[in-house]
């Protein structure tokens, strides 16, 4: 490769697609080398484009003779334009954004660049890349583009939205992502309200339709991939946009205050009050510079905010979950919204400064949301304003974060981004006037170990900064400016709790041995390699649950055996040879796979999920089991089947495992164990029938509770019914232990295992080990050390005879 030649950059929504296109182009060079950089996807599996990544790719490809940038479709073009605005003037002059089709254009551009052509020659040749096809097949008919679809060369369909809050942020974001993935132009309207047609690839335009639960939506698609796009959109709508119909959602814009504050995050905290809300941003009244300068200023701010949101999404997915992290997809799409950016650019070209133009466009868009009749959709105006403020602060150099705040934070509510940035070593507690205990921000705060109270009422917003507040996030109680004796008592409680936590952490690596000498294994529930490292640092004795579905969700194809084996091995290495329990794929129903479309189910929790889905697709399960068997040749591995209801299901899974052992060609590994989840009441009651075929049971109390008590754990209306302390549920746990009869071990891996009040009760019923989230390991071990198993058995007998969960809690103190 010569030092002086034209470089190429491939911008695509898909990293896999970009790499394949580059590989094809390189095949045409017959050994010649040119610089081809790729800026594709937000990560290995997430579709999207990033202007900052494109800047890096251009910089890497540029050696002074220029760079030709080829893009796939839609927002890739917009991102490339934004990237150019971020470049220095001398570099920008050498860059050509090429309108050529990605694959054909890249092949031609690579060949011409390898021959020493100039940057303009490369761009021109690539632009003519379709000449051969056109000469052979003739030109494609050109359809007029109008606001109203004209029905020519279009496909159309309709669907009824069943999501409780209509097309709010998350389902709308999923729809936009689906539309933007293909070479198609989709238009959509709300047939129920007889709305006009809008671009289905624009998040802001979708919101103006005000699509509510029960509304009928019509969609029309044109373009080379129109039929495929329509099929995927209708399938997505049939899956309710991958959102559970009973899933909790954030509180609406017009919140109602609970009769009493709700303890949403356990723990104690005391400290000075501080407002978590930043002062309003003032747009300076200064003359605008040249439009190109102002647009570059905005582009740089958007790129920085996009990177920040991407980092927050990654953190949230790791610490809380993929579902919760999906809210940031809507924020990313808003930054990439053609309608919004076009409105801003028109203002900039008209002589407005970038901050003023951005602020005005955001206000207009938020006003459109404000005008939507549905109160939940109307609440999305706050999302628009929050993202708009992030960009505005970045432009004005006043960008700051909640990460610098300390004490007891008081706010109307927090955005997920604000919650994600809070430092648990600085923030004593969070006191929210409104909010929901199941909202994204609160879930994230709980994961960070920050005490939280929601629904504290609007009067807390009048508490002056600096006022001392004592917060009990477990009981939902707080005291403003407590008198000296109360302050002293509370501070002592906080100190005692901190000391207990410190003592527990100091002994975390030691075994948990009860007062009468019984060793209780305390493992970790993990969903990533990072979780495994955290578990090791917290003293986990083993991994009691590895949620392998993190490898399968959010991607277009299944991971092969090699990829699975590599990730499982990293988890094992992070735990230094401790036993790891790999649960086979637990998806389906409420957790669909993109690469394995399934029919929508009226009640997905009672549908095709867990082992049922895996047995329906045995090749998928066979590959996963082979990866697990290969790992078991190197480290102790327990294979665990989820959602088992019948003996036939278990035996079918075991047969596939035996076949995987045969495929490995090395015989059954000595450290390989086999077990099953107990999440269905019938499985608990007939545990003895399963015992002859397993080495262990692992009780998933989250699902077992909702199935035993007929109370959806995501439905706030029945939250008090679905109580794991219910004697009926406890009887199922004891039935499992009795069915195991000492021939198989019993572990509990649901959230119940991390409740310190429940540890003695579980050990008294016959549970052998516990598996909890990594941060809960030290405290769970300490709780086990305080137990006398003989006394715990008597306690269990007494508790099982009680009449309800409240009585059980009272008995446990």
CA angle 351, 353, 358 (to 5 degrees): 115
Mean pLDDT of the chain: 83
Mean pLDDT of 435-448: 68
Provide the CA 389 distance to its chain's centre, in angstroms. Answer: 23
pLDDT of residue 752: 86
Mean pLDDT of 564-593: 88
Mean pLDDT of 629-652: 97
Mean pLDDT of 29-37: 80
Provide the CA 407 distance to its chain's centre, in angstroms. Answer: 28
Higher per-residue confidence, 676 vs 338: 676
pLDDT of residue 110: 87
Q: Please report which helix (H) or strand (E) contains residue 452, including its range.
A: strand 452-454
Q: What are phi and psi of 628, to 5 degrees?
A: -70, -40
Dist CA 32 CA 47 (whole Å): 31
Q: Do residues 432 and 455 lie in contact, with contact meaning Cβ atoms separated by under 8 Å? A: yes
Write out the two tokens for 302. Answer: 């958007």
Dist CA 293 CA 668 (whole Å): 67
Is pLDDT of 344 > 60?
Answer: yes
pLDDT of residue 439: 60
pLDDT of residue 50: 79
SS3 425: coil
Name residues whose C-beta falls within 8 Å of residue 173's C-beta, 6 or more positions apart in sequence: 203, 326, 329, 330, 333
Q: Please report which helix (H) or strand (E) contains residue 513, including its range.
A: strand 512-513
Q: Label each residue of 705-719 as H, E or C.
A: HHHHHCCCCCCHHHC
CA angle 717, 320, 300 (to 5 degrees): 120
Dist CA 726 CA 722 (whole Å): 8
pLDDT of residue 621: 96
pLDDT of residue 486: 83
Q: Do residues 434 and 455 lie in contact, with contact meaning Cβ atoms separated by under 8 Å? A: yes
Higher per-residue confidence, 471 vs 167: 471
Rg (CA), the chain: 29
Q: Do residues 106 and 25 lie in contact, with contact meaning Cβ atoms separated by under 8 Å? A: yes
Q: Which band of pLDDT confidence, cut at 50, 70 and 90, is reported for residue 262?
A: confident
Closest CA to 658 of 677, 636, 676, 639: 639
- Distance between the two ends of the chain, CA-based, in angstroms? 75
pLDDT of residue 561: 95
Dist CA 169 CA 328 (whole Å): 9
Dist CA 704 CA 676 (whole Å): 13
Q: Do residues 609 and 586 lie in contact, with contact meaning Cβ atoms separated by under 8 Å? A: yes
Is pLDDT of 227 > 60?
Answer: yes
Dist CA 305 CA 811 (whole Å): 52
The residue behind tokens 């095949």 is: 27
pLDDT of residue 458: 79
Is pLDDT of 753 > 80?
Answer: yes
Dist CA 175 CA 522 (whole Å): 42
Is pLDDT of 744 > 90?
Answer: yes
Closest CA to 447 of 778, 773, 715: 773
Is pLDDT of 786 > 80?
Answer: yes
pLDDT of residue 259: 43
pLDDT of residue 272: 93
β-pairing, 637-641 vs 672-678, is: parallel
Q: Which band of pLDDT confidence, cut at 50, 70 and 90, is reported for residue 182?
A: confident
Is pLDDT of 143 > 70?
Answer: no
Higher per-residue confidence, 748 vs 591: 748
pLDDT of residue 2: 46
| DSSP state letter for 576 | T
Up-side HSE of residue 221: CA atoms within 13 Å toward CB? 25
* 187-204 residue pLDDT tens: 899 888 888 888 887 766
Is pLDDT of 640 > 60?
Answer: yes
Dist CA 506 CA 779 (whole Å): 11
Range with lowest mean pLDDT among 258-272, 301-315, 377-391, 796-810:
377-391
pLDDT of residue 44: 65
194 CB neighbour count, 10 Å cutoff: 7
SS3 551: helix
Instruction: Kindly state the percentage of the chain with pLDDT values over 90.
Output: 34
Mean pLDDT of 657-666: 94
Dist CA 526 CA 218 (whole Å): 42
* 406-422 residue pLDDT tens: 899 998 777 667 787 78
Write out the two tokens for 698. Answer: 């692992």
Mean pLDDT of 357-386: 73
CA angle 475, 481, 485 (to 5 degrees): 80
pLDDT of residue 257: 34
* 681-727 residue pLDDT tens: 999 999 999 999 999 999 999 889 989 999 876 555 665 687 889 99
Closest CA to 796 of 771, 759, 755: 759
Beta bridge partners of 38: 10
Dist CA 173 CA 242 (whole Å): 11
> Would you call 671 exposed, middle or buried from its count of C-beta atoms within 10 A (0-12, 13-18, 19+)?
middle
Helices (H), 575-637: 611-616, 618-632
Q: Do residues 752 and 758 lie in contact, with contact meaning Cβ atoms separated by under 8 Å? A: yes
pLDDT of residue 91: 87
Range with the largest mean pLDDT of 263-277, 411-425, 546-560, 640-654: 640-654
The residue behind tokens 């190197």 is: 634
pLDDT of residue 316: 64
Write out the two tokens for 745. Answer: 């071990």
pLDDT of residue 714: 56
- Encode burial over 560-576: b for 16+ CB neighbours within 10 A, e otherwise: ebeebbebbbebbebbe
Dist CA 625 CA 622 (whole Å): 5
The residue behind tokens 């003695």 is: 760
Catalytic sites, residue numbers: 440, 749
Q: Do residues 208 and 198 lie in contact, with contact meaning Cβ atoms separated by under 8 Å? A: yes
Higher per-residue confidence, 145 vs 470: 470
| DSSP state letter for 616 | H
Q: Do residues 554 and 313 lie in contact, with contact meaning Cβ atoms separated by under 8 Å? A: no
Domains of the chain: 7-137 (3.40.50.510), 154-242 (3.30.1340.10), 262-276+402-502 (3.50.30.10), 291-396 (1.10.274.10), 518-812 (3.20.20.60)
Range with lowest mean pLDDT among 8-17, 75-84, 458-467, 498-507:
75-84
Dist CA 755 CA 197 (whole Å): 52
CA angle 262, 497, 427 (to 5 degrees): 60
β-pairing, 512-513 vs 427-432, is: unpaired
The residue behind tokens 């009926």 is: 728
pLDDT of residue 313: 72
Higher per-residue confidence, 751 vs 527: 527
The residue behind tokens 């979708």 is: 206
* 427-432 β-sheet, strand order: 262-265, 452-454, 427-432, 407-411, 268-275, 468-472, 477-480
Mean pLDDT of 607-636: 94
């Amino acid at each position: 490769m010569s030092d002086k030649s034209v470089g190429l950059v491939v911008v695509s929504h898909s990293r896999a697609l970009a790499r394949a296109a580059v590989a094809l182009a390189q095949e045409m060079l017959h050994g010649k080398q040119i610089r081809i950089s790729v800026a594709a996807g937000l990560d290995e599996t997430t579709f999207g484009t990033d202007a900052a990544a494109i800047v890096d790719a251009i910089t890497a490809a540029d050696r002074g003779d220029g760079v030709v940038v080829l893009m796939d479709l839609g927002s890739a073009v917009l991102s490339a334009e934004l990237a150019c605005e971020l470049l220095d003037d001398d570099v920008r002059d050498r860059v050509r954004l090429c309108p050529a089709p990605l694959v054909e254009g890249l092949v031609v551009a690579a060949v011409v660049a390898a021959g020493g052509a100039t940057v303009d020659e490369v761009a021109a040749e690539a632009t003519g890349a379709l000449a051969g096809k056109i000469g052979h097949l003739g030109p494609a008919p050109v359809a007029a583009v109008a606001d109203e679809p004209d029905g020519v060369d279009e496909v159309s369909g309709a669907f009824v939205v069943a999501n409780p809050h209509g097309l709010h942020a998350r389902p709308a974001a999923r729809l936009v992502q689906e539309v933007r993935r293909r070479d198609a132009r989709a238009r959509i309207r709300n047939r129920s309200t007889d709305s006009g047609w809008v671009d289905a690839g624009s998040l802001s335009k979708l919101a103006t339709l005000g699509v509510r639960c029960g509304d009928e939506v019509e969609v029309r698609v044109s373009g080379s991939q129109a039929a495929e796009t329509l099929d995927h959109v209708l399938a997505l709508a049939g899956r309710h946009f991958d959102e559970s119909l009973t899933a909790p959602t954030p509180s609406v814009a017009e919140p109602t205050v609970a009769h009493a504050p709700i303890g949403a995050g356990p723990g104690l905290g005391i400290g000075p009050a501080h407002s978590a809300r930043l002062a309003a941003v003032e747009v300076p009244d200064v003359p605008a510079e040249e439009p190109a300068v102002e647009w570059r200023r905005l582009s740089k701010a958007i790129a920085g905010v996009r990177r920040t949101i991407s980092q927050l999404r990654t953190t949230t997915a790791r610490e809380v979950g993929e579902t919760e992290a999906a809210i940031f997809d809507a924020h990313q799409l808003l930054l990439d919204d053609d309608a919004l950016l076009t409105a801003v650019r028109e203002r900039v070209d008209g002589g407005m400064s970038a901050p003023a133009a951005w602020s005005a466009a955001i206000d207009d868009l938020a006003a459109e949301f404000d005008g939507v009749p549905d109160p939940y959709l109307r609440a999305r105006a706050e999302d628009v304003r929050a993202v708009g403020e992030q960009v505005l602060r970045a432009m004005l150099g006043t960008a700051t974060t909640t990460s610098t705040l300390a004490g007891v934070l008081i706010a109307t509510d927090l955005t997920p981004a604000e919650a994600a940035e809070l430092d648990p070593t600085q923030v004593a507690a969070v006191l929210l006037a409104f909010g929901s205990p199941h909202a994204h921000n609160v879930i994230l705060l709980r994961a960070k170990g920050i005490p939280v109270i929601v629904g504290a009422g609007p009067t807390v917003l009048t508490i002056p900064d600096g006022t001392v507040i004592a917060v009990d996030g477990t009981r939902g109680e707080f005291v403003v400016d407590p008198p000296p004796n109360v302050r002293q008592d509370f501070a002592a409680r906080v100190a005692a709790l901190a000391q207990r936590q410190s003592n527990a952490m100091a002994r975390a690596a030691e075994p948990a041995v009860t007062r009468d000498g019984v060793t209780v294994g305390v493992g970790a529930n993990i969903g990533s390699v990072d979780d495994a490292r955290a578990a090791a640092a917290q003293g986990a004795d083993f991994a009691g649950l590895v949620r392998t579905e993190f490898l399968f969700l959010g991607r277009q194809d299944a991971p092969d055996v090699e990829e699975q084996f590599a990730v499982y091995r990293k988890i094992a290495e992070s735990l230094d040879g401790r036993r790891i329990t790999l649960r086979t794929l637990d998806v389906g129903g409420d957790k669909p796979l993109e690469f394995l479309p399934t029919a929508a189910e009226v009640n997905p929790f009672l549908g095709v999920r867990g082992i049922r889905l895996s047995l329906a697709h045995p090749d998928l399960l066979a590959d996963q089991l082979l990866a697990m068997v290969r790992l078991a040749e190197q480290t102790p591995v327990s294979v665990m089947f989820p959602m088992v209801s019948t003996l036939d299901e278990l035996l079918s899974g075991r047969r596939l495992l035996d076949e995987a052992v045969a495929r490995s060609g090395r015989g059954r590994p000595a450290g390989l164990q086999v077990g099953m989840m107990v999440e269905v009441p019938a499985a608990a009651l007939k545990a003895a029938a399963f015992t002859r075929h397993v080495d262990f049971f692992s009780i998933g109390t989250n699902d077992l509770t909702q199935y035993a008590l007929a109370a959806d754990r995501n439905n706030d209306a029945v939250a008090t019914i679905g109580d794991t302390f219910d004697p009926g549920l406890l009887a199922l746990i004891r039935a499992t232990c009795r069915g195991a009869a000492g021939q198989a071990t019993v572990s509990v891996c649901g959230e119940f295992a991390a409740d310190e009040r429940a540890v003695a009760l579980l050990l008294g019923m016959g549970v052998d080990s516990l598996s909890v989230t990594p941060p809960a390991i030290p405290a769970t071990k300490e709780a086990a050390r305080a137990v006398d198993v003989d006394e715990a058995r008597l306690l269990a007998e007494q508790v099982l005879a009680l009449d309800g969960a409240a009585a059980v809690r009272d008995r446990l103190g």
